Amino acid sequence: MTNAYKIAILEGDAIGPEIMAQAVRIFSALSTRSDTEFELTYAPFGAAAYFEHGKAFPDETKTVCDSADAILKGPVGLSYEESKKIPVEEQPERGAILPLRARYNTFANFRPIFLSENMAHFSPLKPEVIQGGIDILLIRELVGGLYFGSKERGVNEAGLRYVHETLEYDENQIRQVLEVAFDQARLRKKRLHNIHKSNVLMSSVFWNEVLDEVHQQYQDVEVIHLLVDAAATALCLNPGQFDVMVMENMFGDILSDQGGGILGSLGLMPSACIGPEKAYYEPSHGSAPDIAGKNIANPYSMIGSVAMMLEMSFSMKKEADAVWSAMRSVFESGYSTADLSTADDSIKIVSTVEFGDLVIKELDGMLA
């Protein structure tokens, strides 16, 4: 019996179409060697969508996403100067990404921070700090907090301009992401770092109260509480202490980027945004307009997002593992791209397309 999946493809901006072109090759490679078919439908999204359709998240794209089994999204956004050409409310982050998350309630953001021992040279950290590699799963709450709270700008009675933004959570929003984090911790090392700022923020006090309640269902999981500023330091000094980390929206946004930093690049970090009925998958990095069109952007995080989709949305773990192995084999064979590495005796620089070619060649060999 043939399995068929519908996937919405949102290429995004700048390097988005370049790295997406390599990622979708995975679907073709798998289709030729299995009884699974993938129906890909492309739809505009981001700054390019605004300039063509007047909306960063057009209605036609919403229709495509609504009917899809999963969504694969490329990076969006422009340079600071180019972004000024778009109204604030339609700039890709506000006009496309946040509405996408809200539409499908993708409350749990999985961001794996992973470097194998043989890829440790990418990291700026000292070898003795990395030791056997890095393997952290950061889980970020994605549809609450400051990003989705009420917002107001104005002029007060004293004639001073002001801004007012609200950090909002209800207990169900917190509980649902904590349950996901505890489930993942139980599957891994049964250790969960809870990242908060309860010494200052009442929202963190409330978060921790809900966590204590949820923890009663997961007594086999050890919980380690850590203030967010201390966590930022610890990620640099001793990343090996972490396994699963969970935190609210803005903390997760910041610390996951720091996670990319200890890997050596956000280009090495894919992500999954999971909701109760639908998920979308995307690289953790931005659209890198400064290198767009140069065929030098590494597609690892875009292809890795496909691997996460295969496992998490389609239960194709064997195929997902093969994709991960293929990419890591390419890196471990000494190949890289100019955005990640400088050529030397041990590193051979290839283009975006050539990196994709090498991954497909490795994958074909594994699936044969």
DSSP assignments along 143-159, one per residue: SSBTTTS-EEEEE-TTS
The pLDDT confidence band at residue 118, using thresholds 50, 70 and 90, is confident
Alpha helix positions (H), the chain? 16-23, 25-32, 47-53, 59-67, 80-83, 92, 98-104, 127-130, 171-187, 202-215, 228-237, 249-263, 300-312, 317-332, 352-367
Catalytic residues: 147, 197, 229, 253, 257
Residue 219 placed within a domain: no
Residue bearing the bigger pLDDT, 368 or 305: 305
pLDDT-derived band at 2 (thresholds 50, 70, 90) equals confident
Task: Kindly report the CATH number assigned to the domain that includes residue 320.
Answer: 3.40.718.10
Higher pLDDT among residues 132 and 25, named by residue = 25
pLDDT averaged over every residue in the chain: 95
Does 89 fall in a domain? yes
> Residue 1: its pLDDT value, please?
62
Across residues 34-49, what is the average pLDDT?
Answer: 95
Q: Is the pLDDT of residue 351 over 80?
A: yes
Domain count, the chain: 1
Band (pLDDT 50/70/90 cuts) for residue 65 is: very high
With a cut of 80, say whether residue 343 has pLDDT above it.
no
Backbone φ and ψ for 191, nearest 5 degrees, come out as -140, 130
**In-domain check, residue 337:** yes
Q: Locate 42 and state its tokens.
A: 């492309």
Say if 69 falls within a structural domain: yes
Residue 291 belongs to domain spanning: 1-106+275-368
Does residue 198 fall inside a structural domain? no
Dihedral class, residue 41 (left if φ above 0, else alpha if ψ from -120 to 50, else beta):
beta
Tell me, yes or no, whether 215 lies in a domain: no
153-180 tens-digit pLDDT = 999 999 999 999 999 999 999 999 999 9
Tell me, what's the pLDDT at 259?
95
Answer whether residue 336 is part of any domain.
yes
Whether 216 is in a domain gets the answer no
Question: For residue range 246-301, what is the model confidence (pLDDT) as tens digits?
Answer: 999 999 999 999 999 999 988 899 999 999 999 999 999 999 999 999 999 999 99
